[in-house]
Amino acid sequence: MDITVAIDAMGGDHGPHVTVPAALAVLDRDPQVNIVLVGLRDVLEAELRQRRRHTDSRLRIHHASEVVAMDEPPAQAMRNKKDSSMRIAVELVKTGEAHAAVSAGNTGALMAISRFVLKMLPGIERPAICTVLPSLRGSVYMLDLGANVDCTPEHLRQFAVMGAMLASAVEEKTNPSVGLLNIGTEVIKGNDVVKEAAELLRHSHLNFHGYVEGDDIYKGTTDVVVCDGFVGNVALKTTEGLARMLGAFLREEFKRSLLTRLMALAAWPVIQRFKKRVDPRCYNGATLVGLRGIVVKSHGGADSFAFRFAIERAVSEARHGVLRRISDQMALIHPESTQQRAVAQ
Amino acid sequence: MDITVAIDAMGGDHGPHVTVPAALAVLDRDPQVNIVLVGLRDVLEAELRQRRRHTDSRLRIHHASEVVAMDEPPAQAMRNKKDSSMRIAVELVKTGEAHAAVSAGNTGALMAISRFVLKMLPGIERPAICTVLPSLRGSVYMLDLGANVDCTPEHLRQFAVMGAMLASAVEEKTNPSVGLLNIGTEVIKGNDVVKEAAELLRHSHLNFHGYVEGDDIYKGTTDVVVCDGFVGNVALKTTEGLARMLGAFLREEFKRSLLTRLMALAAWPVIQRFKKRVDPRCYNGATLVGLRGIVVKSHGGADSFAFRFAIERAVSEARHGVLRRISDQMALIHPESTQQRAVAQ
């Protein structure tokens, strides 16, 4: 099946300079993808011309006259910019003209707009932000990463369902294991919300592993790690900070003298392979999951190499019918919601 | 001033094999430290004999007939093992025979025993676990790391005072900056507890920087990072997991072939310097802060090199009058508590 992705071509720190070449790269790599670039027509046409490319049956431009600023309050973006590239991209998913939307814009605005335009999947109370991280044993799906600071045990259960369905769809894992993020069993065994969520998950049909701790994320103890958005956001950003610090220290050591620079040169191929292996750009693209449509958020500062991965994530989720899988699972948990199932895809 | 440290010589995964050589190393390096090894006299004497060392005016053994197991429930360790090496070490601080206690034992038991034996400093409601982390700009004091899962804004304020006083005492920083850990300002600006804590801190006499995010820890944006124990524990363990994964990937890349092994050899001195610089063993030793006495918890799996750092942390805190500084600061916040000040040091 051909997948059509609507791209908020104006979003992110770099706008069309990044989104357009990334879109072109995806078109070149995957013949079964079509792309709609949403944004200021003149700007996008100029960007294509500059790259000696033009619209065709697989690449079209959908004009949108406004742009949501990176620091714009979500409510304002919702109310005042009904013709923003972000909003139109999401509306193309709503109307069925696209299977998924991708934006590197303001997360809050994207979440608010997506929720307003697409609405939630039956049985899901809150959308979550889910990302994929590398681990010693393959990919780990982690959610929520900041959409929800205060969660109930039921929210965490829903996150578990969504994470498991994402992992099973995209990674083609039959019965992905789910871990609930908690703190060391030594001092105290977590707060009431986590304990109750564990109880719910123990009685679910998911492959619930039990509690995991922070180090289990990168150990790859489970395929999915569930936590509230506060904890998830801190864990993710701590990771970014640590990786940057370690990189800076390693560079400093290699730049210390002429001799160490020669050593760096000698080890260059290995260091490049290592860097490639843990390149965060290859993990760019967080899914706003729980909506009646696929919306992927790219890092705002992404370059075109990184933005390509966000588009490919959206393609992959659409191709593997993630929404249908989540609804089917929610119907098992809340059979009453099956009646209202009228889900996209 | 000579500092006397009581060491729970039986604690940790390796007991006296680690604690005794670490104690000897500290004695050799710092002539103004005395050590009391607390534990089974026969075992400790044998350990000393094996190392051709003996007790003297700076090193003595204090017999304790019991040992708290690493997985023993804290309440049980409290009730049933009144003559444990852990408890006796803490009691030596209480009676003034030692300025500080160090243990690599069970965190929950150490916290419960320390709280029961030493009691809290005036004005402090809950003890916290504080550790020092490396950053791009020097050391960062972070607390709480797991003693308190549910915190009120007032608890967070008290953690801020304790962290700032630790940093100012040990690092000799005049007015250490304090950051309150929160999540990206984009989506939502944190939960109510964090917002109210920020309000309290804005009106405090501390050098309050405002909110920081996970990546600010390793950027070194502030000297102190304050958070609740759940978030802090996850952030710390995520760090451990990521560091281990990156190390494993780097090793794998260097071991890929004979050629890459040669490259590793060529870069060996630089890699060793880098490893030394981020060696977690040099950051071993978390302080149970808020008590009327200094108690430092070493990682349970610490080797003698790492355990030495935990002892040295205890020495440094005792030498710099950390307890007095915290009480003085708390007296500024809660003047009513000054009347009950009858603090150690």
Task: Give the number of other Cβ atoms within 10 Å of residue B41's Cβ.
Answer: 14
Token representation of residue B31:
């002539």
- How much is the pLDDT for B343? 46
Residue that is written with structure tokens 């500290």 in the block: B26
Give Cα A175 distance to the centre of its chain. 21
Contact of B6 with B100, CB cutoff 8 Å: yes
Q: In what order do the strands lie in the sheet with B207-212?
A: B59-63, B33-39, B3-8, B100-103, B294-297, B286-289, B128-133, B140-143, B224-226, B177-181, B207-212
Pick the residue of A182, A230, A251 with the most B CBs within 10 A to test the interface with B by mutation: A230
What is the sign of the dihedral through the CA atoms of A251, A253, A258 and A262?
A: negative
In the structure, what pLDDT confidence band is assigned to residue A186 with cuts at 50, 70 and 90? very low
The distance of Cα A344 from the centroid of its chain, to the nearest Å, equals 19
B45 close to B77: Cβ distance less than 8 angstroms: no
Q: Nearest CA to A246 among B125, B330, B247, B299?
A: B247
Interface mutation target, options B71, B152, B217, B230, chain A, most CBs of A under 10 Å: B230
* pLDDT, position A235: 96
Number of residues in chain A? 345
Q: Cβ–Cβ of B183/A233 closer than 8 Å?
A: yes
List the domains of chain A with CATH numbers. Answer: 1-121+290-321 (3.40.718.10), 125-280 (3.40.718.10)
**Beta-ladder partners of A211:** A180
CB < 8 Å to B231, chain A: 230-231, 234
- Supply A299's token pair: 């890092």
pLDDT digits (tens, 9 = 90+) for A153-184: 999 999 999 999 999 999 988 899 999 999 86
Mean pLDDT of chain A: 91
Burial B231-246 (b: 16+ CB within 10 A, else e): bbbbbbbbbbbbbebb
> Which pair of tokens denotes residue B35?
């050590």
Letter string b/e over residues A143-156, b meaning 16 or more CB atoms within 10 A of that residue's CB: bbbbbbbebbbbbb
Judge contact between B275 and B301, C-beta under 8 A. Answer: no
Report the gap between the CA of B100 and the closest CA in chain A (Å).
Answer: 21
Instruction: Write down the pLDDT at residue A150.
Output: 87
CB < 8 Å to B236, chain A: 214
- Predicted pLDDT at B331: 83
Do B261 and B271 contact (CB within 8 A), yes or no? no
pLDDT along chain B (345 residues), means of 10: 95 96 97 97 96 94 96 90 96 97 95 95 93 94 91 95 93 93 69 91 93 95 96 94 91 88 86 88 94 96 96 96 87 63 45
ipTM of the complex: 0.89
pLDDT at site B336 = 60
* CB atoms B188 and A108 under 8 Å: yes
Indicate the SS3 state at residue A244. helix
User: Rounded distance, CA B235 to CA A4, Å?
Assistant: 38
CA dihedral B141, B145, B148, B151 (to 10 degrees): 50
